[in-house]
């Protein structure tokens, strides 16, 4: 069912600044200059709205954010949402999808949390930040967005945090959802939703002080990288598989042994891929993988899977509890 917000929105909105290109200015070398209040001030349509408040959490390029920074941003957003306030987080696009996914993992309220940013600095001709911010606020104020979890609004499109990926470096529609497509669109300040994703039970990690590695694979992989990663004694590993969950039998054996001791979750290299269950039966196929303790992550990207696994291990979940948590995405 298509849901369009046509009535005047009434929800209070809190804009949380976390730096990024949307807050940058300068020609020939943009740097972060605008805080959350400064971003609000440049959007005339928003300066006339009385129920918007601002707070700057951090002012950094997102490539500089630590896990502690990201958790602080997410907690500030969640705490505001718990008070019934719609939240907009302005964030750098380099790591936006990771912070948005983490925020969705810990978000436990009905009020919307919306991430947005910009591709062009505020000082650039045709800067896209103001339009993205205006759209994000319209979604955060929308009653139709209530209960949807964390959303990413960019280039007029609405994506869910679990599906959104930055798939273009310079396009004004830099984010897409390869598995599901966008959930909706913002047109003339009115959000329209075409679909919804079911929400997952939230987690509440005390701190993201664990170490989870992403280890990709490729043809001819002899396990050198896998053994090096395991030699660092990680708290968990996100591993790449080929095709629909396939590995060389020797590599699968290595990861299967590791999965008996630490959580090992597996993603598919195709960005619209999932781990199959029973199409192939050769050694190292998806059937062999599913017979091990390795946990398929479904449609999650490797970076999204890492953030979720970090939250799981930091919350003290056992391997079986982590398996249950990821089963919700393994459809």
Q: Mind telling me the catalytic residues?
A: 21
Q: Is 3:75 a contact under the CB 8 Å cutoff?
A: no
Q: Is 264:237 a contact under the CB 8 Å cutoff?
A: yes
Q: Residue 129: name the closest of 238, 230, 36 by CA.
A: 36
Q: Please list, in sequence order, all residues whose beta carbon lies within 8 angstroms of the beta carbon of residue 170, skipping any fewer than 6 positions away.
A: 119
Size (the chain), residues: 331
Instruction: List the Cα angle 31/118/172 in 5-degree steps.
Output: 135
Structure tokens at 263: 């959580």
Alpha carbons 139 and 185: distance in angstroms, whole number: 10
Alpha carbons 8 and 306: distance in angstroms, whole number: 39
Q: Tell me how far the alpha carbon of residue 23 is from its chain's centroid.
A: 20
3-class DSSP assignment, residue 10: coil
Q: Please list, in sequence order, all residues whose beta carbon lies within 8 angstroms of the beta carbon of residue 68, skipping any fewer than 6 positions away.
A: 207, 208
DSSP 8-state class, residue 9: P
- Give the CA distances from residue 26 to residues 29, 118, 156, 167, in Å, rounded to whole numbers and listed in that order: 6, 14, 25, 25
């Amino acid at each position: 069912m298509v849901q369009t917000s046509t009535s005047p929105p009434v929800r209070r909105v809190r804009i949380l600044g976390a730096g990024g290109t949307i807050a940058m200015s300068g020609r020939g070398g943009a740097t972060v200059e605008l805080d959350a209040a400064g971003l609000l001030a440049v959007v005339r349509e928003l300066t006339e709205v009385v129920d918007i408040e601002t707070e700057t959490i951090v002012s950094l390029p997102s490539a500089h954010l630590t896990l502690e920074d990201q958790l602080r941003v997410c907690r500030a957003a969640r705490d505001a949402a718990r008070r019934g306030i719609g939240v907009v987080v302005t964030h750098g696009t380099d790591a936006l999808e990771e912070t948005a996914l983490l925020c969705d993992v810990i978000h436990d309220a009905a009020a919307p949390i919306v991430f947005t940013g910009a591709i062009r600095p505020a000082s650039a001709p045709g800067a896209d930040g103001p339009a993205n911010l205006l759209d994000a606020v319209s979604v955060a104020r929308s009653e139709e967005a209530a209960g949807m979890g964390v959303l990413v609004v960019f280039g007029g499109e609405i994506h869910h945090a679990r599906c959104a990926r930055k798939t273009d470096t310079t396009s004004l529609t830099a984010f897409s959802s390869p598995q599901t497509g966008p959930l909706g669109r913002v047109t003339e300040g009115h959000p329209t939703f075409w679909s919804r994703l079911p929400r997952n039970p939230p987690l509440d990690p005390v701190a993201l002080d664990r170490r989870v590695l992403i280890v990709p694979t490729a043809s001819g992989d002899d396990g050198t990288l896998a053994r090096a990663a395991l030699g660092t004694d990680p708290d968990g590993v996100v591993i790449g598989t080929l095709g629909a969950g396939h590995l060389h039998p020797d590599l699968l054996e290595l990861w299967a042994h590791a999965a008996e001791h630490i959580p090992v979750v597996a993603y598919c290299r195709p960005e619209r891929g999932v781990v199959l269950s029973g199409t192939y039966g050769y050694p190292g196929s998806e059937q062999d993988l599913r017979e091990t303790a390795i946990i398929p992550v479904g449609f999650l990207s490797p970076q999204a899977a890492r953030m979720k696994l970090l939250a799981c291990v930091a919350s003290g979940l056992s391997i079986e509890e982590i398996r249950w948590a990821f089963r919700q995405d393994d459809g």
